[in-house]
Amino acid sequence: MISKRGQEINGWLIVDKALKMGSTTAVAKARRLYDARKVGHAGTLDPLATGVLPIAFGRATKTIPFIMDSTKHYRFTLAFGESRTTDDREGDVLTTSVHRPDDNDIRAVLPDLTGDIMQVPPIFSALKVDGQRAYDLARAGLLQSLPPRHARVDRIEMVERPDADHAVFEVQSGKGVYMRSLARDIALACGTVGHIVVLRRTKCGPFHEENAISLDNLTQSMEKAHALPAPLLPVATALADIPALAVTEAEAKALSFGQSIALAELTHPMPVLQSGLPQGDVLHAMCGERAIGICRPVDGRLKPMRML
């Protein structure tokens, strides 16, 4: 998260992150383009990866956790025959194998890597170990492996087989799944080794690659036409997958002040509230076209959770 002097602007910019650009660099560049006071991103992409990087400005930064927790879609190319220190093409070769699985072998192992699984993250990752980044410890030779973590992979499909050495996959997953680890584990399950050579994120929550813009194109269009930066998507776009609840100005004010409201007293009760929303589920409160924040029905009352 970057918070500096600048304009108070609010909304989402969906960046098509370029190859070899770090996510933090992309955020810093976007902040300069918009002269924004507060900015952050939802979901780090490795320098090797391209694709959808949602960048939040102002009040939109409060909705970042909902994008981080959202479903994401990826497309990657797995190269068989070499394992690497980083589990991608940037790393040093660790081991080699002459075995190349056929299409049936590959498809046969995918069900075991789908669903709720335990995954070992790459040691060259941003995870913290005793307060230090794993990649710093790995570069210093002080980290050999990380413990497995729970991960959710909703779907894996092999969509292309360009040659015996490569296979292309599309993946739908939840929060915190490492595609480099998934590619590595597919190869291992097939009795060989492998690493990622191409990785692209095509969707992140409600944000699609069709709506993404490269920072280079954005910069060039501004310089050539002396134009203002591209308009941002509304803050509430990040909450599109959360059921919306209409509230009045008075109710919005009460929620913003941290006050709960009896569900029976809401001016515009939702049918889902009347039939009973599951305990712990959240709602997206809207006053007209204005996003108010995230609320949760608890014990017959609507309680504010994260106000915008």
Tell me if residue 46 is catalytic.
Answer: yes
Tokens at 39, concatenated = 């900015």
**What span, in angstroms and rounded, lies between the C-alpha atoms of 226 and 169?**
41
Report the candidate in 82, 298, 278 with the shortest Cα–Cα distance to residue 193.
82
Q: Are 270 and 302 in contact (CB under 8 A)?
A: no
Q: Helix, strand, coil proportions of the chain in percent (round to 5)?
A: 30, 35, 35
**What span, in angstroms and rounded, lies between the C-alpha atoms of 122 and 195?**
11
**What span, in angstroms and rounded, lies between the C-alpha atoms of 302 and 308?**
16
**What span, in angstroms and rounded, lies between the C-alpha atoms of 81 and 101?**
10
Length of the chain: 308
Identify the active-site residue in 46, 87, 88, 185.
46
Determine phi and psi for 254, rounding to 5 degrees: -60, -45
Angle at 208 (CA atoms; ends 165, 217), nearest 5 degrees: 90
Active site residues: 46
